[in-house]
Chain A
């Protein structure tokens, strides 16, 4: 046996409290937020959405024109220093109209995504988790709402309530959680048979906690993708409703309405379609970036 020379080793001084936790423990949501902040594209998406929200709120006020001011001497002007986005067939400033439309379309996007997240995820998760008869009844209700003609109850809502944004929200609210509910339910049906759910049950975790802390975070990928579909769909459904005379009424215009108006003049005045379409696409892009980042951030497997 060799004797280790004394000089080569130095006894480590014991730290005062080796059990001390160096980093504060983070909750699921703190951790998700921390990871979201690192995701560059997601932050870019967040910045774009915030920017759109701010311009939608402030832009129409700062603009020298109003969304409804007609100027028949300047109809169908191409973009210029005076009218950055040009004018429409009644000489209305397109920039102002697009910014004003952002209020309506973004509101529609946010409200429907909240509805599909709130109602759709809860409904689908409950149906999928309990399964059997509960699932059967809950899913048949979804089928019924899916089967009823959308236009029919939109008209009925317009008769009962007055036409306007609130009615559109309610009409969209009735249908825009159905797809989400179906997709979440399918995911939960599969996830709940996995071992980690069995483990959770064995350790006595309550039903609500299993659903919200174990099942839903694992279904986050499909949830986010579905949500990014819901937003543009809702924006264009609103345009379709306006086209049928059931949406927001002129001279107020949403992006969907502006796009369908611009589409009619696509041959002669393409910018009338280009700018609303550009704003819609940029918004979608931002939501998609944010959605991808959220998916990564909320994925419990990537937690460190």
Chain B
């Protein structure tokens, strides 16, 4: 296990390097630069700016310079937000996005799994129909419509909750619900579908026949086997939801880091593009690694570490 962990961590480093390199190449391939604007800057000023950010260096030199700084987790100054480094951007934005995302993730996992279990235990009855109906709505209503409906109803009509901004617990409720709608719906459907399969298996009948209580059968015997695809989905979901959503954070004016994934590219803010991509990738790779370990816990037969015998 230890050997496997070390090998995977090394693989994560290599994968990160590939992602960083590809992102670097891709972003220099797209036309435009951070200081290209409609109003052309006088050449000497542009020269000075380029010299300040080392943009006058040949690309390979910029690349290795960036990697050398990256090794010390120095992500460089932002091109767009003067006097801010990319480290600052992440340090300011990530705690906000992660708090919101963590709550949304918790909602999705708890409600999704519970709803899925209830639906599968009552197949084709009203509980099942209700869960599936809600899940379908969760699928088909995009977060920006859901978010604006929430604002319209709870802030504008009823005045219960603040419409935007960040700071108080009340301000978390609506964005967290809007963020969690789709993953909750997906997890509920997935759990229902896999639970139905697992519940039909022989060992579950055996468990019932042994006279085990319903809770024991469901949680000990069935759920563990039904959760596998949910875990597969949780890896990428965790990375996505913790680093913030462009749409939801924009609608609720939340100072997270979600917007940087889009605006940095629009601004050709090279260091920010690299910084947020690498940060996101680290969370993604670690989450996927943890999921692979969790597989072995859910189903002891799985040998992720070993190869083919």
Where the two chains meet, the residues of A that have a C-beta atom closer than 8 Å to any C-beta of B are 130-133, 135-136, 139-140, 143-144, 146-149, 151-153, 155-156, 159, 178-179, 182-183, 185-187, 189-190, 193-194, 221-222, 224-226, 228-229, 232, 236, 239-240, 244, 256, 259-260, 263, 266-267, 273, 277, 280-281, 283-285, 288, 295, 299, 301
Contact = CB atoms under 8 A, between A and B. Distances in A.
Contacts of A185: 232
Nearest to B29: A156
A146 B141 contact: no
Given A147-B19, A239-B142, A140 B193 contact: no
Contact of B11 (A140, A159, A193): A140
Contacts of B265: 149, 151-152, 155
Interface stretch (B37-45, B98-106, B209-217, B276-284): B276-284
Interface stretch (B49-57, B76-84, B163-171, B301-309): B301-309
Interface of B: 11, 14-15, 18-19, 22-23, 26-27, 29-31, 132, 136-137, 139-142, 144-145, 148, 152, 182, 186, 189-190, 193-194, 196-197, 200, 225, 228-229, 231-233, 235-236, 247, 261-262, 265-266, 273, 276-277, 280-281, 284-285, 288, 291, 295, 298-299, 301-304, 306-308
A39 to B, nearest CB: 12
A217 B137 CA distance: 28
A153 B307 contact: no
23 contacts: A143-B281, A143-B284, A147-B15, A148-B23, A148-B26, A149-B273, A183-B229, A183-B232, A189-B299, A190-B298, A190-B299, A190-B301, A222-B194, A225-B186, A229-B139, A259-B142, A260-B144, A263-B144, A277-B140, A277-B141, A283-B140, A284-B139, A301-B197
Given A152-B273, A236-B142, A130 B31 contact: no
A147 B190 contact: no
A285 B136 contact: yes
A228 B189 contact: yes
Contacts of B19: 143-144, 147-148
Nearest to A299: B197
Please report whether the interface of chain A is mostly helix, strand, loop or mixed according to DSSP: helix
B91 to A, nearest CB: 20
Interface centre among A131, A225, A240, A288 (most CB of B within 10 A): A225
Contacts of A136: 11
B308 A179 contact: no
A138 to B, nearest CB: 12
Contacts of B280: 147
A281 to B, nearest CB: 4
